Amino acid sequence: GFVDEASEWAAKGIDITVPSIARTYDVVLRGKDNFAVDRAFVDEIVKVVPEIYDVATFNREVLGRAVRYMVGQGVRQFLDLGSGLPTVENTHQAAQSVAPGSRVAYVDNDPIVLAHGKAILAENDRTAVVTADLRDPAGVLSDPEIRRLIDFGEPVGLMLVGILHHLHDDEDPQGIVDAYLAAIPSGSYVFITSFCNSSPEAAAAEKQYLALLGTGRFRTPAEITAWFDGLDLLEPGVVPNPLWRPDRPVDTDLTVGQRLIYGGLARKP
Ligand code: SAM
């Protein structure tokens, strides 16, 4: 029964009695690595943002565009923080499809990512999955697996995609971003996407995220833009995901879902 199943997973560090960020995101990406409690959470979000499944897709699409852009600028190594469960096009697949030698280190603190991700995300010697908490930059940056893959003397593509909104204000997201930026050289890039406080529906979704998942801060475009302070923010700046360097024509009259996550890319001077 449920109790047996729950205790089997608990032995692997996976609590199926409360929703997890990684698994609820897997639900909206129509993946299979999730449990009833995760699907029940998403059902509540659907009530305030019916388009939430599409929101996840926009976020994965912009991730792919950003990675390919950075590879086009010569970046060959990526540190993907809060990387999530494997899905259709992961960072290493986007990068290696253009430049096969690209190296990607994935970092996530949810043990389910390692359990399900090892085979796909660590599929060649240029990729690795590390279970670590990104709120500990010193720990992440000194991890031997990460240091094996990432040469901190060469430009790095730092990915903070759909993750900073899971940090509370008192966890100092700016300080965390700055700590990673300090460790990477000039010519590196940082790509960030984040829930944005862009509509009454977004405000309602924030309430539900905080109440039912425990995290999910929907910040203003100005707050998101501030994370890039001191860097060269590339055109078109911090914008709704579908408007960030689209690869097909987009109707600029955006829906609530299309405006729910904003993203931007900057280069370290
Ligand atoms: N970056 C992927 C994307 O945008 O498609 C996945 C985003 S998912 C919404 C956020 C991921 O961050 C989850 O897999 C979650 O487990 C992970 N995460 C949350 N807090 C974290 C932390 N403190 N350290 C590392 N990973 C974290």
What is the predicted pLDDT for the residue at 122? 77
What is the predicted pLDDT for the residue at 240? 98
Task: Copy the structure tokens of residue 266.
Answer: 């900057």
Give the predicted TM-score (pTM) of the model.
Answer: 0.98
What is the predicted pLDDT for the residue at 225? 98
State how far the Cα of 187 lies from the Cα of 155, in Å rounded to an integer: 5
- Spacing, Cα 84 to ligand 1 middle (Å): 5
What is the predicted pLDDT for the residue at 123? 81
Over residues 102-141, the pLDDT tens digits come to 999 999 999 999 988 888 887 889 999 999 999 999 999 9
- Complex ipTM over 0.95: yes
Of 258, 264, 265, 263, the closest CA to residue 56 belongs to 258
What is the predicted pLDDT for the residue at 178? 98
Over residues 68-114, the pLDDT tens digits come to 999 999 999 999 999 999 998 999 999 999 999 999 999 999 999 99
State how far the Cα of 104 lies from the Cα of 70, in Å rounded to an integer: 13
- Spacing, Cα 251 to ligand 1 middle (Å): 29
Any ligand 1 atom below 6 A from CB of 82: yes
State how far the Cα of 245 lies from the Cα of 39, in Å rounded to an integer: 32
Distance of CA 168 to the CA centre of its chain: 16
Any ligand 1 atom below 6 A from CB of 68: no
Contacts of 255 (CB under 8 A, 6+ apart): 51
Judging by beta carbons within 10 Å of its beta carbon (0-12, 13-18, 19+), is residue 190 exposed, middle or buried?
buried
Over residues 206-262, the pLDDT tens digits come to 999 999 999 999 999 999 999 999 999 999 999 999 999 999 999 989 999 999 999
Contacts of 87 (CB under 8 A, 6+ apart): 26, 29, 31, 60
- Number of residues that this document lists for the chain: 269
State how far the Cα of 110 lies from the Cα of 116, in Å rounded to an integer: 11
E strand segments, the chain: 77-81, 103-108, 127-131, 157-161, 189-195, 232-233, 239-240, 261-267
Any ligand 1 atom below 6 A from CB of 94: no
What is the predicted pLDDT for the residue at 88? 87
Can you name the CATH fold of 52-267?
Rossmann fold (3.40.50)
Task: Copy the structure tokens of residue 145.
Answer: 């697996």
Distance of CA 101 to the CA centre of its chain: 22
Over residues 140-199, the pLDDT tens digits come to 999 999 999 999 999 999 999 999 999 999 999 999 999 999 999 999 999 999 999 999
